[in-house]
Each structure stands twice: as structure tokens, then as C-alpha cells.
Structure 1
Amino acid sequence: MDQKMNVYIWDMDETLILLKSLINGTYAEAFNGSKNVQSGVEIGKMWENHILQICDDHFFYEQVENCNMPYLDVLKQYDDGKDLAEYDFNKDGFGPPSDDLNKKRLAYRHRAVAQKYKKGLHSILDQDMIKSWSELYDVTDSYTDMWFSAARACLEQCAVGDRDLASSTVSTNDAGDTLIQHVNILVTSGSLIPSLIKCLLFRLGDLFPSENVYSSWEVGKLQCFSWIKERFNGPNVQFCVIGDGWEECEAAESMRWPFVKIDPLPSSFHRFPGLTPKDLGHYFSVVYGNCDEKDN
């Protein structure tokens, strides 16, 4: 049986979610008066407050803010597997310098974050907070003409594979058997902990396991892309980058991967709603051709 893999590498801000453009008003201004700019600003600021509160209250952000790492498992070698059920993260002395002992303490925090992330916010927040969060999501999705839910739907389709996408990038063997694996990876320029919280708040946590979330804040997009290529290296692996910024565009070009530029302007071609796995399939085809051509 042939085995193929499509790896989709997504940017977060102004790609899967809109936040900065809500807060600074540029998203609404592009609609030439048909959207209330101040409403978008207020929505964005409410999201900021939610993100910071959950980061600080539940995910050690005040303690680790100056220790941003590119992914949660980066310090796994320092984690001795200690049972953290009764561990007091407020009294373990974590802080400078960045020696082996403090790397172990940071690794403990990363493990705890991964466990909380996997359980989701419903295991952390009370009913009033969950209701407030859910209502804000619905208001934001409506304000952005369903950008958030459309982005999620596209991710879901990519995760399971789209028939049109598969037909354009994958051939079958003589027995007609082809196993196609589809993987969504997030590479964000934001710091790691707030980016993980954004995944949870914007209903993306089930589509991006914590081990598939990378922060390029310290190391840059190209380094993250290189790690991802090493992780998923193989003869039948294809990569595609989807984002709105110059850095992921240049990094994708350096890796010779297709790049799909997202633009929230109402007249743009690649935006949500609109972008589909079939569109991404065309980019795969342009760079990789069909599998028969690639394998010869």
C-alpha cells in the first residue's frame, strides 16, 4: 500500500483568526463604512482580556513569560517524569538563571500546560466564563462574516482529506490502495503559551494537538519549518504553507514549498470564507506535480 502525507503549515494571526486587525480597526475600515470600526475594536480588546486572564490564571504565563520556547517538548530531556499532582509551582524557586535545575522546572510547567491543553478549557473555566466566551465567539464570527467558523471548517476538511484535493495530488498503486495522511501544523510568530490559549479560545485545540504548535518568536519561521521537515521527512511528504506575512512567504520559498497568501480584504481571492482544501490542492500540484511525475 502506498503511503502519502500532506502537511499543512498554518499561520495563526490574520490567517486562521482575526485579532490585530480588529483591535487596530483595519479589518472594518476595508469595508468602507459597512462595518462599525469601534465594535471591532471592542471585540478585539475583549479577546485580549480573555487571553491574558487565562494565560496568567491557569497556564503559568507570569512565571514563563521571559522563557518563551519554540514548542512544548523542547525541554523534554530535562523532565524526569515526576508526579506533578501535588507539586507546588508557586514555591519551587523557578526563575533565573537558565541552568539545568530551572530547565527541569520549566519542563514540568510545559508538561502541565500540555495536559491542561489536552483537557480543554471546559475543565478549567466555570459556567459563567464558558458562556461569556461562547457568546463572544459567536459575536466575533458574525462580525467577521463567519471567518472563524469557515477557517475551522477548512482545517477539519484538511485533517480528514478532501476528495478533490486527493485526486489532484495523490495517485493509487496497481491494487488501487493509497493511504493518505493529512497533518495540520501551526507556526505562529506569537509567543508559545498565549498561542496555545488562542487555539483553545478560538476552538482550534482539537485540530492542533499541542505537539503541533510552534512559536517562531525567538527562532524565526525558517527554523520552525526546518524542524517540521525533519519531523515529517519522507519521499512522499508534501508541504504547503498558508499565512498572511512576508516571513512565512520567504521561509516557504527557501524550503521550495507552496505558499498561499491570506488577505482579509473583502475583494481578495484567498480569505475565509472562501479558501478550501481544493484550492490548496492546486498549489500542491503546481509545486509537486502529480505523484507519478514526482516519483519518476
Structure 2
Amino acid sequence: MAVTLGLRMEEMIFNLADTHLFFNDLEECDQVHIDDVSSDDNGQDLSTYSFATDGFHAAASSANLCLPTGVRGGVDWMRKLAFRYRRVKELYNTYKNNVGGLLGPAKRDAWLQLRAEIEGLTDSWLTNALKSLSIISTRSNCVNVLVTTTQLIPALAKVLLYSLGGAFPIENIYSATKIERLEGTGVTSAVARADGTLSTINLSRLAPRRLKKGVVYPVHCFSGKESCFERIVSRFGTNITYVVIGDGRDEEHAANQHNMPFWRISSHSDLLALHQALELEYL
């Protein structure tokens, strides 16, 4: 049952990513952050822009412009890349609290049914996690940040499909995949700052990204999340307390590297304890 539900959600994630978030174009042009190529965007009005006929995908495929080595294409091609990430950002912000409106009636019903089945199987794991995220989100000086080892576009799709968009502004989502080039599943972590505290909470396993046969994906253990943590610290500053919450060795290692306390989540009781700590303002 669990495997079946996971495969159904994986299919829904990639369907949303491909259909609405340009994953077919952007899979080989992955970014750590949604604004990483924004400097190449000239601000052109995209209301009547035709992404399907602008030649971006053909140019990228023929010239190998999207390479993990950081090779960049020409000015025109980079602008088209930036347009796509800007459009993804617009769609995320428009539908972050109503992904059903993006899916359409038929897919919306299938999505709601799948969500209900997953909640039943996991004894409302997501609901319990959302309680903590909601407390953090309602604090005036608090922000949630998410770090994942899944590619950025599928990660955004999953955030939307699990109704987490309201808890995570798109500017606060980081993908370590471009840095790590890891095979297999990614682990989603959320980072939250409240009353001078920046925390991370592991939510669940993301669907495996699609790997290409014959391609070598080098593994640089932990460096991806460590680099993302460095970006977060650079952005929010060092004059606050960081608490990392998760279930994996990689985020625990990254936390230790940055001298951040680590709160492990491995069971429902851990989630409930986290919620209580937040309610009592221990965190």
C-alpha cells in the first residue's frame, strides 16, 4: 500500500512539474534557488510570451547548454531560462494556497483522494507537521525555509501538492541537488526562524528524480546541504540561534558543521514534542 501511494504521488509530482513548471525544459538546467538566474531577466512582459515556440528547449538540447559544470549559454538563451524561472515563481505564488485550481477539476479530485489515503496510512503525519509549521508562520518575526536534496522544480511541485505553499515562501526554498548530484530520493527539510531562532524540520521523502542512463552522478557527501546552510546563514545573519530538526545524517552533519543544535524527528511522538515546544515557546 505504501509503495503504491508513493508511486501515485511521484507520478502526480512529475506530471505537475512537467505540465505547469517547465520541468521538461529545466531538468538539466537545475538551480539551487528560484532567483539564481534572475539577473539574466530583462523584465519583459510574459503575458503573451510563447514558451512553446521560443526555441529554448531545442537550443539547450543541441548545444548542451545545461551542464552540471556551470557552463552558461548565450545572453538570449539565459534570458529565456530566466523567463521560465520567473514564470514558475509567478505560478507558485498564485496557486500556493490553491493548487487544485492549477490542477483542474479531474486531477484535483484525484489529488484530494490521494492526500486522504496518505494521511490515513501515515496516521496524519503531514497534519501534525503542519501544526508546527503553522505556529512558526504566524509569528511576526518568523520565517520557514526549506532545504531539499531533490531538484528544485519537483520540490516545488511537491510543496504545492502537500499544501505547504502557504508555509514556505518560494524565496525560502533551496535545492542541494545542483551541488551534490545525488542519486535516489531527496530528504525535505524546512528551516524556520522564530524569535531569533532558525530551525529545520524534516517532512518526508521526496520522489526520486529521473536519472539518465549512462550518466555518472558524482556524490559529494553532505556538501550540498552544508552549502545551502551557508547561504541561509549568509542571508539571515549569525546573530541568531539555529536549531536543525530532521531525521537524516546529512542535515545532522551539516548542523554540526555550523555548530547548530540538532532536533531529531523519527516518530509521531517527536512531532508532538516539537509542537508542544513551539506552543510553549521553548523554540
Q: Taking structure 2 as the reference length, what is the TM-score of the superposition?
A: 0.74
1:123 Cα deviation (Å)?
3.2
Q: What is the letter of the counterpart of residue 276 of structure 1?
A: H
Aligned match for 2:101, one of 91, 100, 123: 123
Q: What is the letter of the counterpart of residue 151 of structure 1?
A: A
Query: Residue 226 of structure 1 corresponds to which residue in structure 2?
Result: 230
Are 2:190 and 1:187 equivalent residues in the alignment?
A: no
1:205 Cα deviation (Å)?
0.5
Structure 1 residues 260, 92: CA separation in 2 closer, same or farther (over 3 Å shift)?
same
Query: Residue 24 of structure 2 corresponds to which residue in structure 1?
Result: 62
C-alpha separation in 1, matches of 2:94 and 2:165? 10
What number of residue pairs does the alignment pair up?
223
Cα shift readout 1:250-272 (whole Å, capped 9, x = no counterpart): 111111111112214x7xx52x4
C-alpha separation in 1, matches of 2:81 and 2:272? 39
SS in 1 for 2:35: helix
C-alpha separation in 1, matches of 2:150 and 2:108? 24
1:76 Cα deviation (Å)?
1.1
Are 2:174 and 1:214 equivalent residues in the alignment?
A: yes
Q: What percentage of residue pairs aligned between the two structures are identical?
A: 33
Structure 1 residues 282, 156: CA separation in 2 closer, same or farther (over 3 Å shift)?
closer
Are 2:229 and 1:251 equivalent residues in the alignment?
A: no
Aligned match for 1:103, one of 78, 81, 84: 78
SS in 2 for 1:256: coil
Query: Residue 26 of structure 1 corresponds to which residue in structure 2?
Result: none
Task: Work out which of the two has the higher radius of gyration on C-alpha atoms and give 1 or 2.
Answer: 1
Query: Residue 149 of structure 1 corresponds to which residue in structure 2?
Result: 127
1:273 Cα deviation (Å)?
4.8
Are 2:275 and 1:276 equivalent residues in the alignment?
A: yes
Query: Residue 4 of structure 2 corresponds to which residue in structure 1?
Result: 42
Structure 1 residues 46, 124: CA separation in 2 closer, same or farther (over 3 Å shift)?
same
Q: What is the letter of the counterpart of residue 138 of structure 1?
A: A
1:68 Cα deviation (Å)?
0.9
Mapped contact 2:144–2:169 kept (Cα < 8 A): no
1:277 Cα deviation (Å)?
5.5
Mapped contact 1:259–1:283 kept (Cα < 8 A): no
C-alpha separation in 1, matches of 2:276 and 2:244? 13
Mapped contact 1:117–1:210 kept (Cα < 8 A): yes
Query: Residue 85 of structure 1 corresponds to which residue in structure 2?
Result: 47
1:101 Cα deviation (Å)?
2.6
Query: Residue 264 of structure 2 corresponds to which residue in structure 1?
Result: 261
Higher RCO structure (Cα 8 Å, ≥6 apart): 1
SS in 2 for 1:86: coil
SS in 2 for 1:276: helix
> What RMSD in Å do the two structures reach over aligned CA positions?
2.0
Unaligned 5+ segments in structure 2 are: 66-71, 180-223
Matches within 5 A, 1:13-52: 39-52=1-14
Structure 1 residues 191, 74: CA separation in 2 closer, same or farther (over 3 Å shift)?
same
C-alpha separation in 1, matches of 2:155 and 2:114? 18
Unaligned 5+ segments in structure 1 are: 1-38, 162-179, 285-296
C-alpha separation in 2, matches of 1:259 and 1:282? 17
Aligned match for 1:135, one of 113, 116, 132: 113
Structure 1 residues 214, 158: CA separation in 2 closer, same or farther (over 3 Å shift)?
same
1:243 Cα deviation (Å)?
1.6
